[in-house]
Amino acid sequence: MARGDARRDVELVEDDEDATAGAPPGDGTRPGTTAGDEPSGASHRTRRRLLVAGAALLALLVVGAVVAQSVVTSRERARMAAVAGLPGVVDPADGPMRLLRTSTDGELLMASARTPDGLLVASRETTDGAASVVAFDPADGAVAWEVELIGPGSALDVLPDGEVVRSHGACETYGTERDLLVCLADNGADVVGRGTLAQLLPTETRLVVFDARDGSVVTDLSAAAGEPLASRAMVVLADLVVLAGTGESTAQVRAVAADGSVAWQTSFPTTTTTADGSRVDLRATSDAVALLTPDALRLIDASGETRQQVALASDTRMATASGYAVAVTAQDTVVVRPDGIRRVAGTWVRLTVDDGSAPGLVLTSDERGLHAWDVDGRALWTSVPTPTGYEALLLDGRVLIGNGTALDALDAGTGEPLWHADGLLPDSGTTTDGRYVLVLAPRPGGSAPDVLVALDATDGQRSWAADLSEPVSAILPVHGVLVAYSYDVSPDGGGLVTHVLR
């Protein structure tokens, strides 16, 4: 519209000039006036041209601002779309968030999957041995569906002394359309005594594929789960369901196909300790599974071949990232990839969000600073000071990491500082929706994490802040849902308290 108005003004000026050109010669004034009484035709034209030019300039400025805002919005949407669904990323935080629902049952933090409809999925176990899978709305806790996997009355007879820790089930997103869930449950238990651990093998194990929309059973794979094992674990690798557990001095791994056939299986000798029993930890990378036993870490590919193996102490902890597994020892960090094993100095810094903008990047930290390593274990850069936490975000080529009451953004390729934001509590949890970096902060003059702050991920500027109406200790992304939690330690308190933020 603005450009159309400008064209009409130009046409009016041209019409005036044509009229003057056809008038009889003279002084150019109307009868009864003098030359000083009225502006000349040239002055009229000049003023109209100035008005036209101003209108056109204003129109261009408005259009330019709209286009610039559109470009910014498009970039933000592109950044958000690029990370949507990645582990550690939360749903879009369009404005100041509030505490939506408070719960004391801990089920929010136990959720192991999310459906395409936004429901969280968790396993429920009862003292009588029953186990079920439940899908609920995180906003209000309403249960959309619940399916029983193991019926009541199936609890094992346990030792008279000791604390009984029952096996906890888990679900994973499954299928090419991510519209299925595969869930594992058994009725095994651990009995913890004074410095001892007795593992009771399950008498019933269920492995079932569900339709995530309504909980209907698609395939029952329980017959393919194999013999009863302790310390059961499950991951999804492409179209395979990979199970692991411990038996008689062995760690056993098997891959089950969608039709219930066993694609492959393998086993490894392992050790059993009086205090910890015989345990396994199973994690998936982008193209393999990592199996941690008390004495070794192994990387097994999708065909069942052991690609790498490294001996480790029993107190080693393991994690996985895209394309590799990490073993954190007391001396260093062991990075295990299909093509080799690298040991790098420092304690591993976990990327809670990794958008792939710095492929193969590994971060560690020690008293000398924050260290970055490439896929071959070569040192890239070191940044000082040493960060206070052991978690970071990789977002759009930036490493975002907390340091005391500040959050720093570093160039992932060079370690050069990009921005610095003070007055925050990043060690109480930091996450992102791709556009904002969400972090807790104290109120002015305070020290408790009472405020949720959104920083622009590109420059660290505060975009908005929201006072939280309840005391919280930290924030945590749970399958896209932002959850704040605290511990009620009062005599009448219920322990863990969780809040959904939206």
pLDDT at 472: 94
Q: In which residue are the tokens 């591993």 written?
A: 348
Task: Return the structure tokens found at 350.
Answer: 């976990």
pLDDT at 47: 57
d(CA 496, CA 311): 37
% of the chain at pLDDT higher than 90: 65
In tens, the pLDDT along 242-259 reads 999 998 889 999 999 999
Task: Return the structure tokens found at 398.
Answer: 């930036």
pLDDT at 114: 96
d(CA 438, CA 452): 7
pLDDT at 53: 58
* Contact criterion met (CB below 8 Å) for 246 and 282: no
d(CA 256, CA 182): 11
Sheet containing 281-284: order of strands: 281-284, 288-293, 296-301, 306-311
pLDDT at 316: 87
In tens, the pLDDT along 257-316 reads 999 999 999 999 998 776 677 889 999 998 999 999 988 999 999 999 999 999 998 788
Give the pLDDT band of residue 4 (cuts 50, 70, 90): very low
Q: Examine the pLDDT at 50 and tell me if it is beyond 90.
A: no
Look at 31-35, 223-227, 394-398 and tell me which has the smallest mean pLDDT: 31-35
Fill in the amino acid letter for 294: P
pTM (2 d.p.) = 0.83
- Alpha helices for 141-194 (secondary structure H): none
* Contact criterion met (CB below 8 Å) for 292 and 280: yes
CA distances from 345 to 251, 311, 367, 376, 391 (A): 30, 18, 11, 14, 17
Q: Examine the pLDDT at 93 and tell me if it is beyond 90.
A: yes
Give the angle 211-287-270 at the CA atoms, nearest 5°. Answer: 95
Q: Examine the pLDDT at 52 and tell me if it is beyond 80.
A: no
pLDDT at 63: 53
Look at 66-80, 126-140, 356-370 and tell me which has the smallest mean pLDDT: 66-80
d(CA 48, CA 40): 13
Higher pLDDT, 136 or 317: 136
Q: Examine the pLDDT at 19 and tell me if it is beyond 60.
A: no
Look at 30-34, 113-117, 375-379 and tell me which has the smallest mean pLDDT: 30-34
User: What's 90-108 look like in SS3?
Assistant: CCCCCCCCCEEEEECCCHH
In tens, the pLDDT along 454-481 reads 999 999 999 999 999 889 999 999 999 9
Q: What is the mean pLDDT of residues 377-382?
A: 96
pLDDT at 468: 94
Q: Which of 222, 245, 224 is nearest to 149 (CA)?
A: 222
- Contacts of the segment 468-472: beta carbons below 8 A, 24+ positions apart: 468/99, 468/499, 469/98, 469/99, 470/99, 470/102, 470/497, 470/499, 472/440, 472/499
In tens, the pLDDT along 480-489 reads 999 999 988 7
Q: Examine the pLDDT at 344 and tell me if it is beyond 60.
A: yes
pLDDT at 7: 38
Task: Return the structure tokens found at 334.
Answer: 């062991």
- What's the mean per-residue pLDDT of the chain? 86
- Contacts of the segment 260-265: beta carbons below 8 A, 24+ positions apart: 260/219, 260/221, 260/223, 260/224, 261/224, 262/224, 262/226, 263/304, 264/303, 264/304, 265/226, 265/304
d(CA 394, CA 462): 19
pLDDT at 149: 96
Give the pLDDT band of residue 48 (cuts 50, 70, 90): low
* Contact criterion met (CB below 8 Å) for 418 and 364: no
pLDDT at 154: 72
Give the pLDDT band of residue 56 (cuts 50, 70, 90): low
Helices and strands (DSSP H and E) totals, the chain: 3, 39
Provide CB contacts within 8 A for 191, sequence distance 6+.
Answer: 158, 159, 162, 163, 164, 165, 197, 198, 200
Count of beta carbons in the 10 Å neighbourhood of residue 71 = 10
Cis status, amide bond into 385, omega within 30 of 0 = yes
- Alpha helices for 84-163 (secondary structure H): 107-110
% of the chain at pLDDT higher than 70: 83
Q: Examine the pLDDT at 36 and tell me if it is beyond 70.
A: no
What letters, b where the CB count within 10 A reaches 16 and e where it falls short, cover 4-39? eebeebeeebeeeeeeeeeeeeeeeeeeeeeeeeee
Terminal-residue alpha carbon distance, the chain: 39
Q: Are strands 99-103 and 205-211 parallel, antiparallel or unpaired?
A: unpaired
Q: Examine the pLDDT at 230 and tell me if it is beyond 50.
A: yes
In tens, the pLDDT along 192-209 reads 887 778 888 999 999 999
Q: Which of 51, 40, 39, 64 is nearest to 12 (CA)?
A: 51
* Contact criterion met (CB below 8 Å) for 261 and 224: yes
Q: Which of 157, 76, 168, 99 is nearest to 468 (CA)?
A: 99
pLDDT at 178: 84
pLDDT at 33: 42
φ and ψ at residue 22, rounded to 5 degrees: -90, 0
d(CA 495, CA 487): 5
In tens, the pLDDT along 312-336 reads 987 888 999 888 999 998 889 999 9
pLDDT at 38: 46
* Contact criterion met (CB below 8 Å) for 438 and 90: yes
Task: Return the structure tokens found at 11.
Answer: 């046409």
pLDDT at 159: 59
User: What's 432-496 look like in SS3?
Assistant: ECCCEEEEEECCCCCCCCCEEEEEECCCCCEEEEEECCCCCCEEEEECCEEEEEEEECCCCCCEE
Q: What is the mean pLDDT of residues 423-449?
A: 96
pLDDT at 67: 46
